[in-house]
Amino acid sequence: MEQDVWYSVRMRASQNHEMNDKHISGGELLSRYDQLEKSVSFLTTKALQHTRGQADFMQIQVEKLTEPIVKIPPLSPTTHHVKTVADGRALAKQLLITAGVTATAIDRALAQLFTIGNMRGAMVVDSVTGQRLDEEDSKGIRVTRLGWDLQDFQHWCQQQQIPENIRTKEAIALASKVAHHPATLAELCWSDDPEYITGYVASTTQGYERITHLKNIGDEQGCRIFFVTSDVNIHAYNTYLTKQPVMIQSSSKGEIIRHDI
Ligand code: WAQ
Ligand code: MG
């Protein structure tokens, strides 16, 4: 049945592509064939109307999926209201420690992040030592092949009494996929968009914990760090993040959709 065939759609856009290649925007979603035009258009708009600047390079890739899609539920959200960045980061550190990450690992990971700057993906870090486990000096691993039906998201937001915001949809989808892997202890994230200062700590044990100030307005330094157990198989972990199709569904209990190919 054609309507059961799914496609992965990915976008990345940057500025000064030939020189320092400043990351402007990225996006990934799952789409049915009859929604492909809309999906490509959604990601094009995301790239072209970006507060990080005007892109001079954009790539959009569409791939038919042949693997079964795993359905998982979204992490449960909570919001912590803080008044300053210092309070926000101190709280984030506390939440990460509660999830099992060491203070040393957090400090070392953040020091590496600030040295690199301008990442396009996430850093994978040993939750005990803080050693970076994905390719050193790379711009990070991009989590792809994930989606969340808009209606299901909207319905879930009403139940949870949180705003129906597309940025939150994308962030919770990503955090839920990442947390679902048994090697992930916790994630720390804030946006690289200069105007958006709310970030989160996510983990299977504590859910999606939003923190209202994790950076100052105008700051373009974003953050995405996955803290993993020391015994992680980094190759398999990478494959899960980039290749395993995952659909977030509020009522799901972890079943697999077998789609015809
Ligand atoms: N895979 C891995 N890393 C990514 C991905 C991805 N698919 N998308 C973004 N990143 C990394 C990349 O290094 C970016 O610089 C950084 O994360 C921030 O990305 O509940 O908007 O898309 O209010 O700017 C969180 C709070 C918002 C939402 C996060 O991140 C809420 C956000 P952005
Ligand atoms: Mg961004």
Predicted confidence band at 261 (pLDDT cuts at 50, 70, 90)?
very low
pTM: 0.95
Protein residue with least CA distance to atom 24, ligand 1: 191
Per-residue confidence (pLDDT) for residue 243, from 0 to 100: 96
Ligand that comes closest to the CA of residue 52: 2
Q: Which residues line ligand 1 (CB under 6 A)?
A: 26, 28, 119-122, 140, 142-143, 167-168, 171, 174, 189, 191-193, 196, 198-200, 210, 222, 224
Protein residue with least CA distance to atom 17, ligand 1: 224
CA of 27 to the centre of ligand 1 (A): 9
Over residues 17-39, mean pLDDT = 92
Pair 204, 75: CB distance under 8 Å: yes
**Span of 30-34, 217-221, 249-253 with lowest mean pLDDT:** 249-253
Ligand that comes closest to the CA of residue 24: 2
Per-residue confidence (pLDDT) for residue 4, from 0 to 100: 76
User: Is the model's pLDDT at 1 over the cut of 60?
Assistant: no
- Closest atom of ligand 1 to 28 CA is 7
Predicted confidence band at 3 (pLDDT cuts at 50, 70, 90)?
low
Pair 71, 256: CB distance under 8 Å: yes
Report helix angle 103-116 to 85-98, nearest 10: 130
Over residues 239-250, mean pLDDT = 96
Per-residue confidence (pLDDT) for residue 12, from 0 to 100: 96
- Closest atom of ligand 1 to 241 CA is 1
Protein residue with least CA distance to atom 29, ligand 1: 191
Per-residue confidence (pLDDT) for residue 17, from 0 to 100: 78
Over residues 188-215, mean pLDDT = 97
Per-residue confidence (pLDDT) for residue 257, from 0 to 100: 59
Over residues 92-104, mean pLDDT = 98
CA of 191 to the centre of ligand 2 (A): 5
Protein residue with least CA distance to atom 30, ligand 1: 191
Q: If we measure between CA atoms, which residue out of 217, 215, 188 comes closest to residue 201? A: 188
Per-residue confidence (pLDDT) for residue 21, from 0 to 100: 84
Greater pLDDT, 261 or 174:
174
Per-residue confidence (pLDDT) for residue 118, from 0 to 100: 81
Per-residue confidence (pLDDT) for residue 251, from 0 to 100: 82
Protein residue with least CA distance to atom 21, ligand 1: 191
CA of 254 to the centre of ligand 1 (A): 24
User: Is the model's pLDDT at 212 over the cut of 50?
Assistant: yes
Using most ligand atoms within 8 A of CB, pick from 189, 208, 225, 228 the residue to mutate for ligand 1. Answer: 189
Per-residue confidence (pLDDT) for residue 256, from 0 to 100: 62
Over residues 101-128, mean pLDDT = 95
Average pLDDT, the chain: 93
